[in-house]
Amino acid sequence: MAHLTLKQILKDAQKKHYAIGQFNFSTLEQLRGILAAAQKMKSPVILGTSEGESKFLGLKETIALVEISKVKYQIPAFLNLDHGKDLKWIKQAIDYGYPAVHFDGSGLALEENIKYAKEIVEYAHKKGVLVEGELGYLRGKSGLHKKITRIRKKDLTSPQEVIRFTKETKVDSLAIAIGNIHGIYSRMPKLDFARLKEIREKTNSFLVLHGGSGISNKGIKKAVKFGIVKVNINTELRLVWKNSLENYFKRKPQEIKPYKILTQVQIAIQKKVEEKLELFGSKNCRYFT
Ligand code: G3H
Ligand code: ZN
């Protein structure tokens, strides 16, 4: 297997109009499910850990787990610190060896977002680490929600601000808000493809679609066609994790061996990730030859 960098892989995705999946994890059976799917589908994969997930696992343990697993599964897999807001924590992740980080300054005023994104980029690029910035206000949390959070037009990424933000910060990737939302809702909002097209015309940064859970397959396909090269999925995997555990205990309430129970969870996660990799068009990647 050729050893390509994440940047080379994202460039290839940009050129050939497919997307790399980022799947979040915080437990070993989740990680194994994701990697087993990537291995089966011959697809590169990004492994996301939010601040909460990485604090639960520990930055060093996360890196060690991924490094040893990459040897086992023999696939291009890259860790990304997802939605980093704490500059100290992001810098620590870079120091410990994360190959990619996401600085989420979307809650800040534009000037501040630019200032801190720039600081992280300067720090990260010295060590060859990729940085994802974020522009626009992405609502919601990675969970199940009954009521839809109203997305206002002013929440969406402004194509004009994209020019300034990417030029001044020099981020490698950009998370955008085009109607996407974190979590699953009874009614999912519509994506603004005209805005995506306009953003794509204004920057060569790798465009990232957060809140991938719950978006229809048609919506994801269209977003990838229009220039999205990274899709983040968390809620759908969390749901599979919970449902597969509950189903297991319903079927076998007496079972107490964690390795037996969690094998079923791992298999269920693998299946869901395989579906997503198929959808994103990243399978049968040439990096395996
Ligand atoms: O950063 C993580 C993703 O944006 C997850 O979004 O929970 O809606 O899949 P999701
Ligand atoms: Zn996100």
Question: Could you give the maximum distance between any two Cα atoms of the chain, in Å?
Answer: 59
Q: What distance, in Å, lies between the first and last C-alpha atoms of the chain?
A: 6
104 CA to centre of ligand 1 in angstroms: 13
Q: Which two tokens stand for residue 41?
A: 């589908």
Protein residue closest via CA to atom 2 of ligand 1: 232
In whole angstroms, how far apart are CA 169 and each of 89, 90, 119, 166?
19, 16, 8, 5
Which of 231, 235, 238, 242 most suits a substitution to test ligand 1, by most atoms within 8 Å of the C-beta? 235
pLDDT by residue for the chain (289 residues), tens only, comes to 457 899 999 999 999 999 999 999 999 999 999 999 999 999 999 999 999 999 999 999 999 999 999 999 999 999 999 999 999 999 999 999 999 999 999 999 999 999 999 999 999 999 999 999 999 999 889 999 987 778 889 999 999 999 999 999 999 999 999 999 999 998 888 999 999 999 999 999 999 999 999 999 999 999 999 999 999 999 999 999 999 999 999 999 999 999 999 999 999 999 999 999 999 999 988 666 5
**Cβ(127)–Cβ(94) under 8 Å?**
yes
Residue 238 CA, closest ligand 1 atom number: 7
- Reported as type and span, the H/E element at residue 59 is helix 59-73
In whole angstroms, how far apart are CA 195 and each of 57, 68, 203, 212?
37, 41, 13, 17
Report pTM: 0.97
Q: Which residues pair with 173 in a beta bridge?
A: 132, 206
